[in-house]
Structure 1
């Protein structure tokens, strides 16, 4: 009985399943007939036309759920970052110069994200190339809308509008990058936060003021800012200048001037706090390009009672100079003295009373062209520091180091003790400019010393080097 019972139950089950399948088939057949009938009706209706703009509207990137990417950003209960973060070293085999050249050659005057993506795609094979060509095309072709930023009336920041006007504020740049990246099959997100850009004031970052992007390349996340990559604003004018630094910028560097509202977008193992962000000096790409590192003064504001030193670590071939500014007017060079010793750049500062701004510039000593701003501090001084003597370019280029005298003016008719280190110099002389009297300093290795009777207000220190009969002025007192 048990066996029959099992057999009966099986047959009943099979029969029941058969009847259900018949019912389902009939139902789907009915739906199919209705669908075909509807298509035929629409086809015969003269009002049924293909409307590309309507389709673009229905599938516009503005209607996509940006949180869909954020949902992939899983954080465990201890808020530990589990995102895979990419390194710029992993992209070193990509020929970005080639991609940048392709991007600069692509001309497009339309407003369709899909059309532009289809023009850029043939030049790329990898995710890294796709991410880069989008960055490059935007930075070459979209301008920052300074007037919109200053007025607070940003207008339509959708990708089609940015393509139409060829300008926008940061959200417009970020939205366009996101749209193009998605059109080319990349995982991407817009990141909101705080940035130390145009108009930034230390400690005044209560409102979100910037937007940038994160993009996934080979299952790892990278940070980029196409707005800052497009150029800079100076005196209220936008200067378009392609800057590759803000593509796949190392998170440890990016966080210094980009603080996201969501902690996971720091892409850092150790959380960087808002207080750290607000108190860190303003550091530019040149700082990292020239291999500089902070040794002293890790905070943006320096409070002092007079003279002080800022010390930076630097490669042998990096040189620097510094300027003090107040109310955007520069003080003369006597307020700073930049020297180098043992791969350390020492910036001596003699600030005036009150508030000023210390700007440090750097470049490779063999490079041509101007120095580039590397780091900026705010200085608050209770007392005025005594000014320094003037140094010439040869002083920096020869890695000279002046120990004394360190005051701009020397007492007349008194002995002054000179000590200066000039690597590879054959001879160093102290010159009384008024009388043209030359006093030879005693050499001990690279260090030259001696007591000199100062008989006039203008004294120069000059050096002679191997293979050159000329004497080059290093320092001048006046």
Structure 2
């Protein structure tokens, strides 16, 4: 005799529709997507229900589990067949699969009866509300405080020894950047100061150049006259040429990646006709357009840390060959790279992206990635040797805007036998407010977590000092990348890349804690490791910078059986930071979170720990 599954399991109390996705990591929870219909089979407590949905991966079967009722809305009531608590208990015993352990033990489950509890103390732990999802970062409402007294139990727990110890990390001395001993070459007797293109408004010139009619681009002479004849100042003439070239010439990816770039269209006339070139063609076209306008411009050849370069690589090969331009402007030698000003390569494709950094660039900045074949084209005194050039940090353009100063760095390669490395840098452009992040690309394990701590004391130049802590999982080499995220949002561009070589075995490796993007600057001092030991007391120490009013920080477990606010132990108005400290007993296994109290009495995550 066939038996319907409803005769073996709890009868549904009612049907509910999911208002949002619920994908918990708890093994006994019911997972569902927004819009799915759930048959509610039991009430665990005022916040958690039991239910089932059809298993789409195996027809004719069902998935069971617990879920927070706030994620669903009732769409259909069902007549209950349970007439008494005993009837309910009998039906529940018959149901051996699946065995769903409730978060609280319900004694009654029916349409008409509210759940009661076998432990009054547990009842005080029930949440007023359950998780809300906002911008993919979970926010959690305040749980009720437990009335139980755990002080005697907590006193018997051992204190965690997982406090941060900088001595376990390979640290590097402050090495002067070779460029710091240089100064730009000038030829004017009455030199008035170094030029900074970033303070000049080129909007009108750029718009004029970008709207050049096609009819004016037939020849080098005609185009040059159109671009430059309307401007009296040579700076505007140079800018108009730079903007037109970067806006209208695409990089010849096919020639570059096939190795046939020497045969590419590099003559100015061919480039103007085909609207495509490698670096030599960009440089040649810029030179010819400038020459036609009688501007003092020339071509420079050399090697560069460009497409395909990774920190620590040798760039003597022809694939790193590059070409750019030089100009003498008011007694100062400046450099122009219209190739890099036009865009960049990504996944084998040219991405058009105007970059004015490479227009009238200082030799003090250009030298970090451009090494001319003829040393005199560095326009530095003293010059930088090839060995020094290779050992320079791999800086991106934003490093100069942020005034990055490497205070503890190893050169282009950092080596250790400890499985751990510590580096430091200073951010001196204080008007640029944001935060830094980093990751480690290691043997195919891309984006391993790296900690960037903002320190509470200033750097040697009065700037903001940052410490990078990198844990290395094995013997070998990889690359550390540092990113900057402007305050107020936006994708963080890569600033610095560093090659890492580990001679150790990886036995000292510990995974760092996972952190979330939040709207203010937080530096976790302790604990830093992702996994914490169960039944220990751990000291949390957190610094919050430049946030007014000061947020409230707390630590809580996944089920909200316990939460603890951290106390403010230091407030420094001069450096504009607040230090939070709290000794937290990790009395439950599972996920624990460091969070803050956000709007409307909700909690948002800062970091997530695993307690085993």
TM-score between both structures, scaled by the size of structure 2? 0.61
Paired residues, number = 393
Please name the residue that 2:564 is paired with: 439
Residue deviations 1:124-159 (CA, integer Å, cap 9, x gap): 221111111111110000011011112222333110
Are the equivalent residues in 2 in contact too, given 1:231–1:242 (CA < 8 A)?
yes
Choose between structure 1 and 2 for higher RCO, CA contacts under 8 A separated by at least 6 residues: 2
Please name the residue that 1:171 is paired with: 280
CA RMSD of aligned residues (A): 2.4
> How many angstroms does 1:219 deviate by?
4.1
- 1:9-158 map, 5 Å: 83=187, 89=195, 94-108=200-214, 110-154=217-261, 155=263, 156-158=265-267
For structure 2, list consecutive stretches of 5 or more residues without a partner in the other structure: 1-183, 457-463, 571-577
> How many angstroms does 1:90 deviate by?
5.9
For structure 1, list consecutive stretches of 5 or more residues without a partner in the other structure: 1-79
Q: What secondary structure is seen at the aligned counterpart in 2 of 1:352?
A: coil
Please identify, of 227-236 and 318-327, the stretch whose mean Cα deviation from structure 2 is larger.
318-327
Are the equivalent residues in 2 in contact too, given 1:192–1:211 (CA < 8 A)?
yes
Please name the residue that 1:392 is paired with: 516
> How many angstroms does 1:328 deviate by?
6.2
> How many angstroms does 1:217 deviate by?
2.3
> How many angstroms does 1:433 deviate by?
1.3
Matched, 1:309 2:419: no
The whole-number CA distance in structure 1 between the counterparts of 2:193 and 2:207 is: 23
The whole-number CA distance in structure 1 between the counterparts of 2:322 and 2:379 is: 18
Are the equivalent residues in 1 in contact too, given 2:267–2:285 (CA < 8 A)?
yes
The whole-number CA distance in structure 1 between the counterparts of 2:553 and 2:200 is: 50
Are the equivalent residues in 1 in contact too, given 2:185–2:333 (CA < 8 A)?
no
The whole-number CA distance in structure 1 between the counterparts of 2:406 and 2:360 is: 23
The whole-number CA distance in structure 2 between the counterparts of 1:93 and 1:440 is: 47
Q: What secondary structure is seen at the aligned counterpart in 1 of 2:272?
A: helix
Question: CA 1:376–1:213 in 2, change beyond 3 Å: closer, same or farther?
Answer: same
> How many angstroms does 1:439 deviate by?
1.6
TM-score between both structures, scaled by the size of structure 1? 0.77
The whole-number CA distance in structure 2 between the counterparts of 1:311 and 1:225 is: 31
Question: CA 1:407–1:221 in 2, change beyond 3 Å: closer, same or farther?
Answer: same
The whole-number CA distance in structure 1 between the counterparts of 2:194 and 2:515 is: 39
Are the equivalent residues in 2 in contact too, given 1:87–1:250 (CA < 8 A)?
no
Are the equivalent residues in 2 in contact too, given 1:256–1:280 (CA < 8 A)?
yes
Q: What secondary structure is seen at the aligned counterpart in 1 of 2:301?
A: strand
Q: What secondary structure is seen at the aligned counterpart in 1 of 2:438?
A: strand
The whole-number CA distance in structure 2 between the counterparts of 1:123 and 1:311 is: 49
Are the equivalent residues in 2 in contact too, given 1:409–1:457 (CA < 8 A)?
no
Matched, 1:318 2:442: no
Please name the residue that 1:269 is paired with: 381
> How many angstroms does 1:326 deviate by?
3.4
The whole-number CA distance in structure 1 between the counterparts of 2:198 and 2:355 is: 17
> How many angstroms does 1:111 deviate by?
4.5
Please identify, of 420-429 and 300-309, the stretch whose mean Cα deviation from structure 2 is larger.
420-429
Please name the residue that 1:187 is paired with: 296
Question: CA 1:87–1:141 in 2, change beyond 3 Å: closer, same or farther?
Answer: farther
Residue deviations 1:153-206 (CA, integer Å, cap 9, x gap): 233311000001101111110011110111011111101111000123544222
Bigger fraction of residues in helix: 1
Matched, 1:357 2:450: no
Are the equivalent residues in 2 in contact too, given 1:290–1:318 (CA < 8 A)?
no
Bigger fraction of residues in strand: 2
Please identify, of 379-388 and 106-115, the stretch whose mean Cα deviation from structure 2 is larger.
106-115
Please name the residue that 1:378 is paired with: 499
The whole-number CA distance in structure 1 between the counterparts of 2:240 and 2:204 is: 10
Question: CA 1:352–1:318 in 2, change beyond 3 Å: closer, same or farther?
Answer: same
Question: CA 1:458–1:245 in 2, change beyond 3 Å: closer, same or farther?
Answer: same
Question: CA 1:268–1:328 in 2, change beyond 3 Å: closer, same or farther?
Answer: farther
The whole-number CA distance in structure 2 between the counterparts of 1:132 and 1:298 is: 38
Q: What secondary structure is seen at the aligned counterpart in 2 of 1:89?
A: coil
Please name the residue that 1:62 is paired with: none
The whole-number CA distance in structure 2 between the counterparts of 1:169 and 1:160 is: 14
Are the equivalent residues in 2 in contact too, given 1:94–1:129 (CA < 8 A)?
no
